[in-house]
Amino acid sequence: MTCGLSVATAAAVLLLAGSAQAEAASGWYVAGAVTGSNLNKPEQTIANAPTPGATLSVTNDVDFGWGGQIAVGRSFGRMRLEGEIGRTENRSGAYTATSPISITLPQKGENNSTRYMLNGYYDLPLSGLPVTAYLGAGLGEADVHVTTFAAPARAPNAPPSQLIDARETDFAYQLMAGFSLPLNPRLAMTAQYRWFDAGTVKGRDARGEAITRDIAGHNLDVGLRLTF
């Protein structure tokens, strides 16, 4: 993570911590969750395809994916701060070249993302209800690995081959909203919606030409949080 990102993250943490009201006991916790990932259809560009001097625009169809996350954090009244490591994996089923030609071809491929995030949450107890709502946001970085195995758009009848195998680590952010349900004084079940955005991944295809691919989408995390 770059120095600029670290400074910005630290400033955000201090601002959130300073504004929190300590209305409940503080304490450390560990949390884990499984993830269902509905990645947006990644938009992609490929330089010098299908012919030299052209830029091929591609939309990738991806399947519903799965993943998980672990976190260690500390509560300060209604405020919580945590460090999180998470991963999601989404497989590709086809791609559609939209410009300068139009064709849809089957493909095998993966859109895998491992993230390292610093999250802040604010808990909102709901009067008369056993659950606590919360809102959160996170900053960090994501290691994204993109692979594609298919026939090239310029030769749709050619045997499938490895077209893309690109990896990049870049800035990422996420926004969360969820609920926690106490199971006992130390253990709570959690369920949250999370929007995750790793921005635009840049890399090279099998020919050495520049590619870009957007990585962002919707996630549902269900897990447990243990306070100690």
Q: Delimit the domains of the chain by residue range.
A: 29-170+203-227
The pLDDT value recorded for residue 78 is 93
* Tokens, residue 96: 């559609």
pLDDT digits (tens, 9 = 90+) for 136-148: 999 999 999 999 9
Asked if the peptide bond before residue 100 counts as cis, ω within 30 degrees of 0, the response is yes
* Tokens, residue 208: 């050495």
**Selection from 154, 163, 121 nearest residue 138 by Cα:** 121
pLDDT digits (tens, 9 = 90+) for 22-68: 344 579 999 999 999 999 999 999 999 999 999 999 999 999 999 99
**Selection from 85, 87, 143 nearest residue 118 by Cα:** 85
The pLDDT value recorded for residue 41 is 93
pLDDT digits (tens, 9 = 90+) for 57-96: 999 999 999 999 999 999 999 999 999 999 999 999 999 9
This prediction's pTM = 0.85
Instruction: List residues bridging with 108 in a β-sheet.
Output: 149
User: Contact, 24 vs 75, CB < 8 A?
Assistant: yes
Q: Report the pLDDT averaged over residues 155-164.
A: 93
Q: How far is CA 66 from CA 41, 87, 90, 97, 111, in A?
A: 16, 8, 7, 26, 11
